[in-house]
A and B are shown apart, each in its own frame.
Chain A
Amino acid sequence: MLARPATRLNPMDLSSMGVGSSIPFLNTDEVLVDGQPVAVVVAETIEAAEHAAGLVEAAYETSELSADFGAALGSATPVKGMPVGPELSGRRGDARAALAKAPVTVDLTFTTPQQNHNAIEPHTTTAWWEGNRLTVQEGTQNLDWSRKVLARAFGVPATDVRVVSPFVGGAFGGKSKVWAGTIIACLAARVVRRPVRLALSREGVYRTVGGRTPTRQRVALGATADGHLTALVHTSVSRRGRVGGGPEQIVACSLDLYDADTILAEQSIVELDLMSNTAMRAPGETQGTYAVESAVDELAVALDLDPVDLRLRNQPGERRPVSRARYSHRRLAETLERGRDLFGWADRPAPGTRDGATLVGWGVAAAIHPAWEFPANVRLTAEVTGQVRLECAFHEMGMGSATAVTQVVADLLGVDPADVAIGYGESQLPTGPGAGGSAQTASIAGSVEKACARLRTRVDALAAKAGRPAGSPVADVLAAAGQPSLTVQVGADDGPRAMVGQARFLGKMLVDSRRWKRAATGAHYCEVRIDADTGELRVTRWLGVFDIGRVVNPRLASSQLRGGIVMGLGMALGEETIIDPRSGRIMNPSLAEYHVPVHADVPRIDVVTLDDPDPTMPLGIVGAGEVGITGVSAAVANAVRHATGRRLTELPMTLDTIHG
């Protein structure tokens, strides 16, 4: 009944990336990971379903498993990136030789744990079939992947699968792919021939949805005595599940943060009998910036240099250190300098400063996240009433995408935002970009620009016929022409034209990536206070200064950046998925025992944006969703180093790691 999911990537159809795992749910008697559903009970009340599920008996034979990341490091195999997409390696000169010769070096190994998704809204699916047509209501970050993955799984045309997701709820990457709950809800609905709703419990999210890979990273830096970087070595081991997942771009940040004379960035990966890893806010960059930005701070200590000065001294010029592509717009140095002034860095206390029984430290770290642009098909309709409607199957996860797109349309057409209606969150609309890679708003803006230009051309042609001057207001021209509305479309959803569009997108991505490097960047400054007796750590001040290109809506952008910082504090201070290596079982699948920050852990966070458009991005927009979390753990670790003299190389920085 269920086709085995394909996990091989087809560049012409990236929806294969939407498969959460290769597990053939309920179609196998083999349990591949702990938490794999073995049966589904459908009932008319949740109480009856839960009770019945408790009566299901299953007998298992056990076999050996490999679920201990630390123990499996020796089996890691190298990974390389693809021509387009995230970078996984890079080499400039002979970094190992340069490191051996460097007058000053630091060489550190970092460990980060698995983390799991904890959006407030757990995944919930409602599915029903009408003949062979499937409708699915659920929170998804990728309507297009979702409909195509389900179409393949159930052997129906993608056009017969309708996915409705007007409000996604929190997602952070956890709703980018199709996981067990969705597949099983659709399967059950087909069997019982009625609508079926399947809501994951919090524990269910932990057990059936992927999380962030743990890492073991080495960062070795070589420098001259005056702080010129001569070598940067960044290597990483991560893990995937035997049932899915892949490498995260952990060392990618080392290709752009510093202009070291030599650079070596490499990744390898191990396969474990655990659930697939998956995207979780800035996958890869989050773990990578923690390691690199910690090591750079340690180098500043070794050189007796101010850590901001050391970073400024080693900023790349106009071109990338390894690939030599140009930066479209690089303002990282300005974010560091603005932050230094605004935070009052000149008043940084002496290392190890005590305030009563409390140690005080200040830390700084850089933030970086690449800017992406994905295909976005849009349909734009202008009405004679002056109303405008923009339709695109994009995703509203609570960050204000619909508001931002409304603003973009209103600005480009010169109409009042109140006259702009937006259709989104439903797969029957023109195919939108996934809400991932911080790319949604910029991607849509690019297509809206094109649509507005097309509309203008069509309106001007109408105007000429109606004897009106070019550039007349759209509604006036439609009235004069006696036409109730005019619709233009950018991009095709299915068929040969869609294939052409996909080929064009890949080609443009390849050309762009050789020509330019585009990224959101930033600088974090923070203060920590540590109880000298217990090692309890509190973050007491935070400032983030960011370059995210043009800021479409300051309130929404600040919220995104601030949210990234809060999530980064979780990674720094408490988040760790505890896995019992004997069973591969997650032991803390709850908000009580998996420690995200509570309000009392989060200080006031000041966020500043440069608001300087990137000339190569649509409307100058660079995404804001992920850059905020990058560098956060390093800023905290660097403040801890400043307060205590101890370099922590393991996350989370719980009190036992601080006090030793």
Chain B
Amino acid sequence: MSTIGYAVPASVEEAVATVAATPGAVYLGGGTNLVDLVREGIATPSLLVDVTRLPMDRIEAADGGLLIGAAVRNTDLAANRVVRERFPVLSQAIVMGASGQIRNMATVGGNLLQRTRCLYFYDDGAPCNKREPGTGCGAAEGSNRMGAILGASEHCVAVHPSDLAVALAVLDAQVEVLGPSGPRTVALADLHRLPGDTPHLDTTLAPGELVTAVRIPSLPMARRSRYRKVRDRASYAFALVSVAVALDLDGGTVRGVRVALGGVAHKPWRATVLEQRLTGGPAGDAAFRSAAEAELAGATPGRDTAFKVGLAVRTVTAVLRQLRDEGGAA
């Protein structure tokens, strides 16, 4: 019978060295996704290196922003007073991301590295290039309302399921990682990748690299920010489309705006086209809508996902309108 080892390293360096030295070793955060994947036989690690007890569980104020340890539990981050005041979009995204029990376990690092919930990825009876490279994409022509409409490839139409990552994308977060060859910082926008012809790679992390912290820079306009998650039931469902928005107004003019979309791509989708169109222009409903339409102009929906294009446009427009009219409180 295959057995799985479990290790509790004493330091971040020891964790990285252990994973580097052990074929099949992986980091274990809250386990809310990885344990499911092991149970389903999709992940087959030889060793689980538990990083939740390492000294990376603090939330610290830094230069008007925040330094968030990768082992901080989602519940603690969502409840943090500074987060709720200065970055409401982040708190809201976490609360909408999962049930209380899951949030109590899930860590920031683990949340970012969770894997897609594509039905074909989860079913070992179906082809999936992400699970088994070269077997084909069952979802592209299959029954698939959850699929990507932006940035997908013929090899993969999976979407990244994290809500937290969408909020962090809008906040221009930086991810600190430690690998066998030392530490480095990667922009959250560059952490996840589009599938291309290597969809088995979710991120740009090198083998053995450990997420140690997430840094959020100062962003005063984020006080007026909001997360909206549209899904098939009131709770306990992944996003069909989600939207993270921060808006800075000068009277009726958009001084600054940041928008990211979830549920539409293999990574959190920063809406740069929309942001450029709106910045410096009028904060009117028509402008919001046409900018959202421009962002989605490149969408390539599949058979079951055509509805997501209009849904994304309307949701972005609605959240911009609500932020303009009501401010940041959800």
Contacts and interface: CB of A to CB of B under 8 A. Distances in A.
Interface in A563-586: 573-574, 578-580, 582-583, 585
B306 to A, nearest CB: 9
Given A595-B237, A598-B235, A534 B119 contact: no
Contact of B307 (A47, A573, A659): A659
A534 B311 contact: yes
A79 interface: no
A319 B165 CA distance: 64
B125 interface: yes
Contacts of B235: 598-601
B310 interface: yes
B318 A655 contact: no
A536 B232 CA distance: 8
A536 B143 contact: no
Given A533-B314, A595-B232, A659-B311, A585 B125 contact: yes
A579 B230 contact: no
A592 B126 contact: no
A47 B41 CA distance: 13
Contacts of A574: 232-233
A535 B313 CA distance: 13
A428 interface: no
Contact of B236 (A47, A357, A598): A598
Interface string A522-545: 000000000001111010000000
Interface in B301-329: 307, 310-311, 314-315, 317-318, 322
Contacts of B143: 578-580, 587
A593 B36 CA distance: 14
Contacts of B307: 656, 659
Contacts of A655: 230, 232, 240, 311
* Residues of A in contact with B, size category: 20 to 34
Interface centre among B117, B119, B141, B317 (most CB of A within 10 A): B119
Contacts of B230: 534, 536, 655
Interface in B259-313: 307, 310-311
Nearest to B316: A533
A659 B120 CA distance: 27
Interface centre among B232, B307, B311, B318 (most CB of A within 10 A): B232
Given A54-B41, A580-B138, A598-B234, A357 B318 contact: yes
B167 to A, nearest CB: 19
Contacts of A578: 119, 143
A38 to B, nearest CB: 12
Contact of B232 (A34, A54, A599, A654): A654
* Residues of B in contact with A, size category: 20 to 34
B142 interface: yes
Given A585-B125, A655-B311, A593 B317 contact: no
Interface string A340-358: 0000000000000000010
Contacts of B126: 580, 583, 585, 587
Contacts of B141: 582
Interface centre among B2, B230, B233, B236 (most CB of A within 10 A): B233
A604 to B, nearest CB: 15
A587 B118 CA distance: 10
A583 B307 CA distance: 25
A588 B235 CA distance: 17
Nearest to B2: A51
Interface string A42-62: 000001100100100000000
Contacts of B145: 654, 656
B318 A533 contact: yes
Contacts of A86: none
Contact of A588 (B41, B119, B314, B322): B119
A48 B1 CA distance: 7
B123 interface: yes
A36 to B, nearest CB: 12
A572 B117 CA distance: 24
B123 A587 contact: yes
A655 B120 CA distance: 23
A423 interface: no
A597 interface: yes
Nearest to B138: A580
Nearest to A597: B233
A288 to B, nearest CB: 25
Contacts of A598: 233-236
Nearest to B123: A587
A654 B233 CA distance: 9
Contacts of B231: 536
B131 to A, nearest CB: 14
B232 A582 contact: no
Nearest to B319: A533
Interface in A596-636: 597-601
Interface of B: 1-2, 41, 117, 119-120, 122-123, 125-126, 138, 141-143, 145, 230-237, 240, 307, 310-311, 314-315, 317-318, 322
Given A357-B322, A533-B314, A587-B119, 8 more contacts: A536-B230, A585-B126, A587-B142, A592-B236, A598-B235, A600-B234, A656-B307, A656-B311
15 contacts: A34-B125, A47-B1, A533-B318, A534-B311, A536-B231, A538-B234, A573-B233, A580-B126, A580-B143, A582-B142, A587-B142, A590-B122, A593-B117, A654-B145, A659-B307
